[in-house]
């Protein structure tokens, strides 16, 4: 790159798949990234930019001049073009759009008008639609004669003159039918369809549930506006799982490996801050029993065990509940059954661990009374942990708050407070401290 | 069902998609499940059984008689048939296989011989393969004339007489080519291929990375043995994300909503037990400072705050690291950079929270010295938390242990021990307790 040896670079990167090219961009020194793209010129496949982390994409786009960008975006499928345009500032976006031919500009503009994370943003507008009275032969000839077909497609759509979706024909169905058969005869008249304004996560669940490969995207009047492809759905599902995992771990869902130290520090701050506040609440509970602790230091030694057992049991239940809510496995119909089940598991594990923990504590402090007190406290906290772990996500979900983001601090503050209160309270009563 | 009204049931369930039928089965009383299947007879689509939780599937299969089962399995795509056969005991499996026609039996047997979770288990053996010298016209005619084609397919494969994979032709490519063109001219001679013994997770990553819809499965001699379809890949990715989420939350990866209380209690026991052991370790650290605690009860009140901040910061880093390892974003090339970055985030958040926490504690206990001590302890524990959060998963991964399963207990025991030791140790020195 330093020598600007365009020919050699083009030759070297000729056979690179867009994902590999994306990796190469990520591995390069930031200054070289836009440089490489300008050098490659039309040999650079802009799809590669959709494969890099968002922070890197934004940075690269800033370094490119708008004409190179407009040239590159023109070559892209509409869904990839939208991804790139989304990463641009308002001004740059307008500038790039201005340099595109009117047809493409209008199509992209329309996609960008749909809400973020909707099917309309992710859909591809390149598709094949034919009228129902065409024959299989006509359709095949049309496809052979048209140069500007979508890059890949798995079904063709059937529409009426006003653009309303009538049906769809899978390619294998088309291939297996004789030439004189009309499209109407072989089309599936209840094709899989999604609304352009539907959330991408909902659409992904549909694909997953019904094993779809592509689905028509229609507007509110059932007019065909695009097609959703499974490769985009795979990305949506991955992003969503990623977001759930990160949020449960107390990290912002958009944190990426390429982010700066400052960005990450800010991404992790809110969770730690929430945790600090709840920790002070539990410390307040402990302070309430200051006198007991002064008289019996063994309580201070053992109390973190009770709280941490509760925290872990609560997290277990919460994890299962949050994930089941995300995959729509947990809903109104089975919520009550799962609550009872979790409570039963809590009681059972409470009893088992009360015996183990009680015995070990009794031996360690040479006092069977300590064992009984910690055992009773543990049963209490594990029951509260089970109930908190399931009821907190369910309630947040009912209130329209994403349970993956905010369940954690609630559940751990419940288990901490109950843990310290139960153990120190029972001990104070038992030993009359 | 109670009235055994077959005709009405068949009519009612006629238009049900297999996923919905699966949901219906899950919602039914366990005793009615096999009953419904027997009543529906050949109208029951056995694919529905691949859509239910594994525990329910096993239970239903036990209740069915082998001939119904063999009949049902015969109608299935090979990948679905394998899923069902996997859930059977050895004896039942042999019995069902015996009742199948020889060709199908051999194909299924071969799939079952591949290791669990390999591409060979998930692949579909129904596919279309043609010799390279055929023309497009010949191929299309062949597909029109053959009744027994796979249910859906997106590409056809090209093989030599010995069955070696030569190339692949996407259906849209086939449709767009003129009849006299030979397959050889339009085939992609470097088709996407995976080895039958390859792990399904690796295969899924390839699909995700290169946006594949199907890929040829070959044996070690490059002979075509099947095809992997994207709908199975979607399931693999979901299962894997599910497993990661559950394991990070301390739950066994195969725990399902339909499991019994006893199963779940056992699934959650090991993590709680591991936590109990590490909690005793930390209690040991606290006991070491028994004297200090007796002299200054404020330490007992504040020490859980330090430990819980450390635990949460460690979990944040660990979550990001475990997920990045699972998606292959974190590897040897960038490990060192990520370690330095996490350490920097740890120091930064350590400083920020040392100031906040120190100030609040100083006000609460009317002692600026307490504030300084807790601040110093917090910086220490947040740096250890960052390093533990990244080094533990990396080390486990290097040792070949799944970091999602076992990182948690290690990281929290590090942060607890460091947290209590740093706070109580610094306090003991500072106040000469």
Say how many C-beta atoms besides its own lie within 10 A of residue A67's C-beta: 11
Joined tokens for residue A154: 């798995």
Residue A126 confidence (pLDDT): 84
Strand partners, A155: A170
The pLDDT value given to residue B374: 94
Residues 6+ apart with CB under 8 A from A17: B210
Among A50, A43, A49, smallest CA distance to A9 is for A43
Q: Which chain A positions have a beta carbon within 8 Å of B356's beta carbon? A: 273, 276
Q: Which residue shows structure tokens 């969503």?
A: A240
DSSP state of A5: -
- Closest-CA distance of chain A to residue B105, Å: 26
Which has the closest alpha carbon to B378: B427, B340, B337, B342? B427
Lowest mean pLDDT among A220-224, A352-356, B124-128, B427-431: B124-128
Q: Binning pLDDT at 50, 70 and 90, where does residue B1 land?
A: low
Contacts of B366 (CB under 8 A, 6+ apart): none
CATH topology of domain B129-248: CBS-domain (3.10.580)
Q: Please answer whether residues B410 and B388 qualify as being in contact, where contact means their C-beta atoms are separated by less than 8 angstroms.
A: yes
Residue in A236, A265, A238, A267 with CA at minimum distance from that of residue A252: A267
Give me the residues paired with residue A344 across strands: none
Among residues A58, A55, A242, which one has the least CA distance to residue B324? Answer: A242
Q: Which residue has the tokens 């239903």?
A: B60
Q: Compute the Cα dihedral for B233, B237, B242, B248 and give only its sign.
A: positive
Q: What is the 3-state secondary structure (H, E, C) of B309-361?
A: HHHHHHHHHHHHHHHHHHCCCCCHHHHHHHHHHHHHHHHHHHHHHHHHHHHHH
B368-398 and B403-430 are packed helices; what angle lies between their axes, rounded to 10 degrees?
150
Say yes or no to pLDDT of B418 above 80: yes
Residue B349 reports pLDDT greater than 70: yes
Residue B412 CA to residue B248 CA, distance in Å, equals 12
Counting residues of chain A whose pLDDT is more than 70, the rounded percentage is 97
Q: Where in chain B is the domain with CATH 3.10.580.10?
A: 129-248
Of A144-148, A203-207, A234-238, A244-248, minimum mean pLDDT range? A144-148
Q: Which of A209, A251, A301 sits opposite B287 (nearest CB)?
A: A301
Please answer whether residues A108 and A97 qualify as being in contact, where contact means their C-beta atoms are separated by less than 8 angstroms. Answer: yes
The one-character DSSP state at B100 is S
Ranges assigned E (strand) in A171-260? 193-195, 214-218, 224-229
- Of B235, B353, B360, nearest to A272 by CB-CB distance is B353
Q: Which residue has the higher pLDDT, B1 or B144?
A: B144
Please report the ipTM that was assigned to this predicted complex.
0.79
B-chain residues near A318 (CB < 8 A): 249
Residue B221 burial (10 A CB sphere; 0-12, 13-18, 19+): exposed
In chain B, whose CA is at the least distance from the CA of A15?
A: B190
The structure tokens listed for B84 are: 């069902």
CA dihedral angle for residue B144, residue B150, residue B153, residue B158, rounded to 10 degrees: -80
What span, in angstroms and rounded, lies between the C-alpha atoms of A357 and A369? 13
Whether residue B2 has pLDDT greater than 90: no
Segment B70-78 mean pLDDT: 79
Nearest residue to A224 via CA among A268, A191, A186, A200: A191
Residues B340-356: what's their mean pLDDT? 92
- Rounded distance between C-alpha atoms, residue A378 and residue A384, angstroms: 10
Q: Of all residues in chain B, what percent carry a pLDDT higher than 90?
A: 29
Q: A205: helix, coil or strand? A: helix
How large is the average pLDDT for residues B81-106? 81
Q: What residue of B is the nearest CA neighbor of A292?
A: B297
Does the distance separating the beta carbons of A349 and B269 come in below 8 Å? yes
| Neighboring chain A residues of B231 at a CB cutoff of 8 Å | 211-213, 230
> DSSP secondary structure string, A251-294?
--TT--TT--HHHHHHHHHHHHHHHHHHHHHHHHHHHHTHHHHH
Highest mean pLDDT among A80-84, B82-86, B361-365: B361-365
The pLDDT tens digits for A337-373 are 889 999 999 999 999 999 999 999 999 999 899 999 9
Q: What is the DSSP letter of B152?
A: -
Residue B343: pLDDT band with limits 50, 70, 90: very high
pLDDT digits (tens, 9 = 90+) for B181-194: 999 999 988 888 89
Q: How far is B98 from chain A (nearest CA, A)?
A: 30
CATH 1.10.357.20 domain locations along chain A: 261-430
Query: Which conformational region is residue B224 in: left (phi greater than 0), alpha (psi within -120 to 50 degrees), or beta?
Result: beta
Q: CA of A41, closest CA in chain B: separation in Å? A: 23
Q: Which long-range contacts (CB under 8 A, 24 or more apart) does B193-198 make?
A: B193/B165, B193/B217, B193/B218, B193/B222, B194/B119, B194/B218, B194/B228, B195/B119, B195/B219, B195/B220, B196/B114, B196/B118, B196/B119, B196/B120, B196/B123, B196/B225, B196/B226, B197/B114, B197/B115, B197/B118, B197/B119, B197/B120, B198/B118, B198/B119
How close, in Å, is residue A294 to chain B by CA atoms? 6
- Report yes or no: B233 and B204 within 8 Å, Cβ to Cβ: yes
Under a CB-based contact definition with an 8 Å cutoff, are residues A310 and A381 in contact? yes
Quote the crossing angle between the two packed helices B298-326 and A230-248, to the nearest 10°: 160
Is the separation of the CB atoms in A392 and A276 below 8 Å?
A: no
Q: Are A130 and A158 spatial neighbours (Cβ–Cβ below 8 Å)?
A: yes
Q: What is the CA radius of gyration of chain A?
A: 30
How many contacts, defined by CB atoms under 8 Å, are there between A and B?
A: 290
> How is residue B180 written in tokens?
């006299």
Q: Note whether B313 contacts A268, CB cutoff 8 Å.
A: yes
Condensed to tens digits (0 to 9), the pLDDT of residues B270-313 reads 888 888 888 888 888 988 998 898 888 899 999 999 999 999 99
Q: Which residue of A has its CA nearest to B351?
A: A265
Interface test with B, best of A320, A334, A424 (most B CBs within 10 A): A320
* Distance (Å, whole) CA A246 – CA B245: 9
- Residue from the list A143, A245, A348 with its beta carbon closest to the beta carbon of B176: A143
Give the DSSP letter string of A44-78: S-GGGGGGS-HHHHHHHHHHS-HHHHHHHHHTS-H
Beta strands across the sheet bearing A165-170: A129-130, A155-159, A165-170
Asked if residues A232 and A226 have their Cβ atoms less than 8 Å apart, the reply is no
The whole-angstrom separation of Cα A348 and Cα A364 is: 24
Q: Retrieve residue A299's tokens.
A: 């309580």
3-state secondary structure A116-166: CCEHHHHCECCCCEECCCCEHHHHHHHHHHCCCCCCCCCEEEEECCCCEEE
Q: What is the average per-residue pLDDT within B188-201?
A: 89
Q: What is the pLDDT of residues A321-332, one digit of tens each?
A: 988 888 888 888
- Give pLDDT, residue B4: 64
Residue A420 pLDDT class (50, 70, 90 cuts): very high
For A199-228, what is the mean pLDDT?
A: 89
CA distance A243 to A237: 10
3-state class (DSSP) for residue A14: coil
The CA angle B111-B114-B115, to the nearest 5 degrees, is 140
Q: What does the pLDDT average to over A394-405?
A: 89
How far is B429 from B433, CA to CA, in rounded Å? 7
Determine the 3-state secondary structure of B251 from DSSP.
coil
Q: Which residues neighbour A239 within 8 Å (Cβ) at sequence distance 6 or greater? A: none
CB contact under 8 A, A356 and B300: no
Q: Which helix (H) or strand (E) holds B195?
A: strand B193-195
Lowest mean per-residue pLDDT among A420-424, B88-92, B377-381: B88-92
* Residues B261-430, CATH architecture: Orthogonal Bundle (1.10)
**Confidence at residue B238, expressed as pLDDT on a 0 to 100 scale:** 84
Mean pLDDT of chain A: 86
CB under 8 A, 24+ apart: contacts of A395-404: A397/A325, A402/A247, A403/A321, A403/A322, A403/A325, A404/A243, A404/A244, A404/A247, A404/A248, A404/A322, A404/A326
Measure CB to CB from residue A345 to each of B175, B210, B261 and give the nearest one.
B261
- Looking at chain A, which residues constitute the CATH 1.25.60.10 domain(s)? 6-113
Query: What is residue B52's three-state secondary structure?
Result: coil
Query: Thinking of the domain B6-113, which architecture would CATH place it in?
Result: Alpha Horseshoe (1.25)
Query: What is the rounded radius of gyration, in angstroms, for the C-alpha atoms of chain B?
Result: 30
């Amino acid at each position: 790159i330093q020598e600007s040896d365009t020919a050699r670079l083009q030759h070297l990167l000729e056979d690179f798949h867009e994902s590999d090219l994306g990796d190469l961009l990520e591995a390069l020194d930031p200054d070289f990234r836009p440089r490489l793209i300008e050098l490659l010129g039309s040999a650079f496949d802009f799809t590669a930019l959709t494969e890099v982390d968002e922070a890197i994409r934004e940075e690269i786009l800033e370094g490119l001049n708008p004409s190179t960008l407009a040239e590159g975006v023109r070559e892209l499928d509409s869904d990839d073009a939208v991804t790139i345009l989304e990463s641009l500032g308002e001004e740059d976006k307008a500038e790039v759009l201005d340099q595109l031919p009117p047809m493409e500009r209008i199509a992209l503009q329309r996609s960008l008008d749909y809400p973020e994370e909707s099917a309309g943003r992710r859909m591809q507008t390149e598709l094949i639609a034919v009228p129902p009275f065409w024959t299989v032969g006509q359709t095949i000839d049309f496809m052979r004669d048209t140069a500007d077909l979508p890059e890949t497609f798995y079904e063709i759509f059937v529409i009426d003159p006003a653009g309303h979706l009538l049906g769809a024909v899978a390619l294998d169905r088309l291939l297996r039918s004789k030439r004189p058969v009309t499209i109407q005869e072989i089309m599936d008249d209840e094709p899989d369809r999604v609304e352009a304004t539907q959330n991408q996560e909902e659409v992904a669940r549909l694909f997953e549930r019904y094993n779809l490969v592509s689905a028509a995207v229609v507007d509110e009047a059932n007019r065909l506006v695009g097609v959703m492809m499974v490769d985009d759905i795979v990305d949506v599902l991955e992003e969503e799982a990623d977001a759930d995992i990160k949020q449960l771990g107390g990290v912002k869902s958009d944190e990426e490996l390429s982010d700066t130290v400052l960005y990450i520090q800010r991404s992790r701050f809110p969770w730690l801050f929430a945790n600090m506040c709840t920790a002070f609440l539990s410390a307040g509970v402990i302070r309430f029993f200051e006198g007991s602790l002064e008289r019996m230091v063994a309580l201070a030694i053992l109390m973190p065990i009770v709280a941490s057992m509760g925290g872990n049991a609560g997290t277990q239940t919460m994890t299962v509940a949050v994930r089941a809510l995300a995959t729509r496995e947990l809903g109104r119909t089975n919520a009550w059954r799962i609550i009872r089940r979790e409570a039963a598991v809590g009681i059972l594990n409470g009893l088992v661990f009360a015996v183990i923990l009680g015995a070990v504590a009794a031996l360690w402090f040479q006092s069977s009374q300590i064992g009984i007190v910690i055992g009773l406290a543990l049963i209490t906290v594990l029951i509260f942990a089970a109930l908190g772990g399931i009821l907190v996500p369910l309630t947040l979900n009912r209130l329209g708050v994403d349970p993956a983001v905010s369940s954690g601090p609630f559940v751990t503050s419940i288990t901490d407070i109950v843990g310290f209160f139960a153990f120190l309270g029972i001990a104070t009563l038992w030993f009359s401290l």
